[in-house]
């Protein structure tokens, strides 16, 4: 089986060409469909890493391979349809809820999977929404979930989620987590998930990428990371006082 995603020495500089590195030498590979949580303190470049993987930001060094083919062999459009990024700040496209749901179908002239859209909307707790209402009028949490479903309907092989549960109440958050875990189990979608919520990471993920000191400090399966972490940085990160501060920041 070909490796899904292979990252070699990725790096991003703050102010090229002479500025400090946000992170560098980031190498990892994803051989099988997994849910991977990307953890680390604020300012480690987790969101930037996702943007690089989603080809919205150019890295300053390193290379990426997707499904065994080098980045240069992919058109940006085909890449982004396969590895799709969902931003932390949800942006609604102009128009109604339905316009947003139909966006991917319209862009690629595919038929719109109405049944699937309804099912996901229900599962994520948005079945009360009137599809004809303006998407801009939704609350922050509703926008965040709608933006996620909008991307799911594109059916990418790899999902890049940037704190997509940060503005959700606990019930919506659990519903969203369940939907993503189900999706992964049924369709083998790989999910790379930036979160500040270690409990979420522990429940949902099979693997953890821990970023600190401007690099990927730990790449471990979830149980190993939480039960017997190797590095002092990760232990400090997992201390209760720190987790509280981080989750407060995430909730902000």
190 forms part of the interface with other proteins (CB under 8 A): no
Q: Which of 57, 63, 67, 206 binds other proteins (CB under 8 A)?
A: 57
Which residues of 16-82 form beta strands (DSSP E)?
Answer: 21-30, 35-40, 61-66, 69-70
Interface mask toward other proteins for 24-53; x: CB under 8 A: -----------------------xx--x--
Short-list 240, 194, 206, 10, CA closest to 85:
194
Nearer of residues 57 and 123 to other proteins, judged by Cβ: 57
- Per CB under 8 A, the list member of 1, 17, 58, 241 interacting with other proteins is 58
Decide whether 57 or 247 has the Cβ nearer to other proteins.
Answer: 57
Between 80 and 242, CB nearer to other proteins = 80
Determine contact, residues 72/78, Cβ cutoff 8 Å. no
Q: Report if residue 224 touches other proteins, rule: CB under 8 A.
A: no
176-183 contact pairs (CB < 8 A, 24+):
176/124, 176/145, 176/148, 177/203, 177/204, 178/123, 179/120, 179/123, 179/124, 180/35, 180/204, 181/35, 182/123, 183/152
Residue given tokens 């060094």 in the structure block: 61
Q: Can residue 63 be called a binding residue for other proteins (CB under 8 A)?
A: no
Please report whether residue 70 would count as binding other proteins according to CB under 8 A. Answer: no
Site string for other proteins, 117-156 (x = CB under 8 A): ------------------------------x--xx--x--
Q: Which is nearer to other proteins, 56 or 238 (CB)?
A: 56
Q: Which of 55, 65, 173, 207 binds other proteins (CB under 8 A)?
A: 55
The residues near 212 (Cβ < 8 Å, ≥ 6 apart) are: 40, 41, 44, 231, 233, 234, 237
**Sign of the alpha-carbon torsion through 242, 205, 100, 71:** positive
Stretch 85-124: interaction string toward other proteins, x if CB under 8 A:
xxx-x-x-xx--------xx--xx----------------
Do strands 207-212 and 83-86 pair parallel, antiparallel, or not at all (unpaired)? unpaired
Token pair listed for 135: 């998407």
Q: Which residue has the tokens 């989750």?
A: 247
Which residues of this chain interact with other proteins, rule CB under 8 A? 47-48, 51, 54-58, 76-78, 80-81, 84-87, 89, 91, 93-94, 103-104, 107-108, 147, 150-151, 154
């Amino acid at each position: 089986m070909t490796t899904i995603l292979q990252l070699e020495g990725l790096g991003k500089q703050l102010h090229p060409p002479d500025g400090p590195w946000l992170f560098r030498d980031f190498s990892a590979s994803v051989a099988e469909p997994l849910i991977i949580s990307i953890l680390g303190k604020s300012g480690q470049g987790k969101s930037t890493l996702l943007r690089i993987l989603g080809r919205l930001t150019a890295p300053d060094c390193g290379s990426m391979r997707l499904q065994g083919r080098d980045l240069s062999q992919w058109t940006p459009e085909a890449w982004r349809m396969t590895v799709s990024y969902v931003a932390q700040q949800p942006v609604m496209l102009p128009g109604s809820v339905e316009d947003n749901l139909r966006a991917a179908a319209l862009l690629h002239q595919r038929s719109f999977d109405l049944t699937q859209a309804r099912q996901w909307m229900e599962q994520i707790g948005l079945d009360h929404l009137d599809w004809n209402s303006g998407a801009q009028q939704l609350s922050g949490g509703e926008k965040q979930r709608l933006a996620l479903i909008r991307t799911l309907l594109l059916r990418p092989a790899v999902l890049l989620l940037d704190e997509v549960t940060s503005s959700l109440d606990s019930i919506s958050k659990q519903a969203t987590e369940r939907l993503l875990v189900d999706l992964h189990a049924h369709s083998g979608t790989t999910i790379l998930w930036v979160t500040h919520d270690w409990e979420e990471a522990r429940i949902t993920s099979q693997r953890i990428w821990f970023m600190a000191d401007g690099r990927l400090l730990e790449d471990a399966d979830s149980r190993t990371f939480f039960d017997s972490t190797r590095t002092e940085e990760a232990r400090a990160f997992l201390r209760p006082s720190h987790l509280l501060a981080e989750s407060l920041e995430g909730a902000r």
